[in-house]
């Protein structure tokens, strides 16, 4: 049994990870810590576990084997390094660190202390991604010419029920977040396009404050990849929920909204559209991959390269927006 402590309810997905952990027979939630005492105590009471106000004391408890990190993004490095130094396995919400250097420091500490690290990049486990990757790898789309991926929701849009939007107020503040729509929701299109299109050659980005928030509430990134392909990455908190992934190759097209997949290839079905093909089975979730790492030493499909390149793309996009120019690698 992996005795686990929950570190903060700051992130909107903290409850999702708690539920998944509670549903996993290999994980036992034993404690809660939060820098917001009231929030942490309330969560601990809901779960029927102790609340710890002293993080160092909690991490020093040898009966705790692992932690799930949902702290403010800007605190990831400090919190994760503390936990790793005490020999705790780490499951973290994205992004791992705000800079490439922070990520590398975390990797080195993880190796030094012989613990497992997992970042939640859930769409890399989905059948629609696996099919797209398989078609690319088999050459069914020919040479990839362009890729587009968009993930958005209306979390920052005012409504009668939520005058400031349904996202927590702190999600739209500079303090603690490290950014807005791109660093959070944009993580999904970034890590998907990183996998599918490969390494970037240049990045141009606009981090937009459409509704006047402190952080970007929508963003667009154009990437030129080393392969010659072009990529468009979109993220936003200011429109109705949407997900689109499009791959356009010299010999085929692949399109999905996450629910429906369609493609055509000169190599398949006489070049006509194939609607709703059978998808590969989903991979184990990021959390199950983490459990498999801890219990069996299994190599996880979600890799350090995925984690590092996610942060790198955010750094490049932010630099492009701030400097008002294309960033060449």
- Taking 3-state DSSP, the helix, strand and coil percentages for the chain, each rounded to the nearest 5, stand at 35, 25, 40
Q: What's the pLDDT score for residue 74? A: 98
Q: Specify the DSSP element, H or E, that contains 303.
A: none
154 and 237 both lie in a single domain: yes
How far is it, in rounded angstroms, from Cα 194 to Cα 24?
Answer: 30
Does residue 241 sit in the same domain as residue 135? yes
Are 42 and 128 in a shared domain?
Answer: no
pLDDT of residue 61: 98
Which pLDDT score, from 0 to 100, does residue 288 have? 99
- CA 273 to the chain's CA centroid: 31
Q: Which residue in 107, 138, 155 sits closest to 304, CA to CA? A: 107
Q: Which residues of 268-302 are buried (b: 16+ CB within 10 A; e: fewer)?
A: beeeeeeeeeeeeeebbbbbbbbbbbbeeeeebeb
Which residue range(s) make up the domain with 269?
123-283
What's the CA gap between 61 and 64, in Å, rounded? 6
**239 in a domain, yes or no?**
yes
The reply to whether 105 and 128 lie within a common domain is no
Q: Are residues 142 and 91 in the same domain?
A: no
Question: What is the biggest distance separating any 2 CA atoms in the chain, rounded to whole angstroms?
Answer: 65
Q: Provide the pLDDT for residue 310.
A: 99
The answer to whether 9 touches 73, Cβ cutoff 8 Å, is: no
**Phi, psi values for residue 262, rounded to 5°:** -145, 145
Average pLDDT across each block of 10 residues of the chain; the chain has 329 residues. List them in order: 99 98 99 98 99 98 99 98 99 98 99 99 99 98 99 97 95 96 98 98 98 98 98 98 97 97 98 96 99 98 99 99 97
Do 263 and 130 share a structural domain? yes
Q: What are phi and psi of 140, to 5 degrees?
A: -70, -20
CATH number of domain containing 55: 3.40.50.720
* Joined tokens for residue 263: 């493609």
Q: Assign residue 214 the CATH number of its domain.
A: 3.30.360.10
Residue that has been written with the tokens 């750094």 in this structure: 315
- Domain count for the chain, please give it: 2
| One domain, residues 166 and 275 | yes
3-state secondary structure 63-100: CCCEEEECCCHHHHHHHHHHHHHCCCEEEECCCCCCCH
Q: How far is CA 89 from the centre of its chain?
A: 18
Inside any domain, residue 94: yes
| pLDDT per position as a tens digit, 274-323 | 999 999 999 999 999 999 999 999 999 999 999 999 999 999 999 999 99
């Amino acid at each position: 049994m992996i005795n686990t402590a929950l570190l903060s309810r700051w992130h909107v997905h903290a409850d999702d990870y708690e539920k998944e952990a509670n549903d996993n027979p290999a994980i036992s939630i034993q404690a809660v810590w939060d820098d917001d005492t009231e929030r942490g105590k309330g969560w601990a009471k809901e779960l029927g576990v102790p609340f710890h106000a002293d993080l160092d004391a909690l991490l020093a408890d040898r009966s705790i084997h692992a932690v799930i990190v949902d702290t403010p993004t800007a605190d990831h490095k400090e919190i994760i390094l503390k936990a790793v130094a005490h020999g705790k396995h780490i499951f973290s919400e994205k992004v791992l660190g705000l800079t490439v250097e922070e990520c590398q420091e975390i990797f080195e500490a993880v190796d030094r202390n012989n613990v497992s690290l997992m970042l939640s990049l859930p769409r890399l486990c989905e059948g629609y991604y696996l099919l797209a990757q398989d078609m690319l790898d088999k050459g069914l789309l020919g040479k990839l010419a362009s890729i587009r991926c968009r993930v958005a929701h209306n979390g920052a849009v005012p409504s009668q029920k939520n005058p400031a939007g349904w996202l927590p107020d702190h999600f739209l503040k500079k303090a603690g977040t490290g950014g807005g729509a791109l660093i959070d929701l944009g993580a999904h299109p970034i890590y998907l396009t990183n996998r599918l299109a490969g390494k970037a050659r240049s990045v141009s980005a606009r981090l937009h404050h459409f509704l006047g928030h402190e952080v970007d509430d929508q963003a667009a990134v154009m990437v030129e990849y080393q392969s010659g392909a072009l990529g468009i990455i979109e993220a936003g908190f200011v429109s109705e929920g949407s997900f689109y992934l499009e791959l356009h190759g010299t010999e085929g097209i692949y399109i999905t909204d996450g629910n429906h997949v369609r493609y055509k290839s000169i190599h398949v079905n006489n070049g006509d559209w194939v609607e709703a093909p059978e998808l590969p089975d989903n991979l184990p979730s990021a959390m199950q991959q983490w459990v498999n790492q801890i219990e069996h030493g299994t190599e996880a499909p979600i890799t350090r390269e995925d984690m590092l390149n996610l942060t790198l793309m955010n750094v490049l996009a932010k630099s492009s927006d701030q400097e008002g120019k294309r960033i060449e690698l």
